[in-house]
Structure 1
Amino acid sequence: MFPDRRRPTPPPPYRRFQRSVPERRTQKRSAAMPNLISRFRKPDGQFDLDKITEAAVQLNKLYGEVSPMISKIKSSVRK
């Protein structure tokens, strides 16, 4: 009907679950991992087994304290 009229461009397709955030997360994660590993190294670059063992003992204690609470929560949710 109007041959010289410009037609509007259609909007881009809706992408419900696609984000650009994971790209930033991988950058943060990759930057954090060397920092985490470096905490268990000696100044000469070797792994400090005493620090690793101490961290494992602390994690075991934490698990021992938290696991009964988690099991209580699980049992109350199932009912």
Structure 2
Amino acid sequence: MTNVKILGTGCANCKTTQKLVEDVIAAKGVQAQVNKVEDIPSIMKYGVMSTPGVVIDGKVVHSGGVPSRAQVESWFGV
């Protein structure tokens, strides 16, 4: 199962990014667990200075701004 973390303090872009990632996972039938990381020290451990950030299986794949749907789909190889 893929482990996905959405890094952000709860801003509108963070919420939009989380919904987009969850929508793609559901639409493509990807087996994934999505967790929200909201505390700043935990976010900084990933080296993300601009939120929202997305971490998949421990690797930062995105930070800053809402990714496109095509970008999100590419992360899951679908």
TM over 0.5: no
Query: The TM-score by the shorter chain falls in which range?
Result: under 0.3
Select the structure that is richer in strand.
Answer: 2
Larger Rg over CA atoms: 1
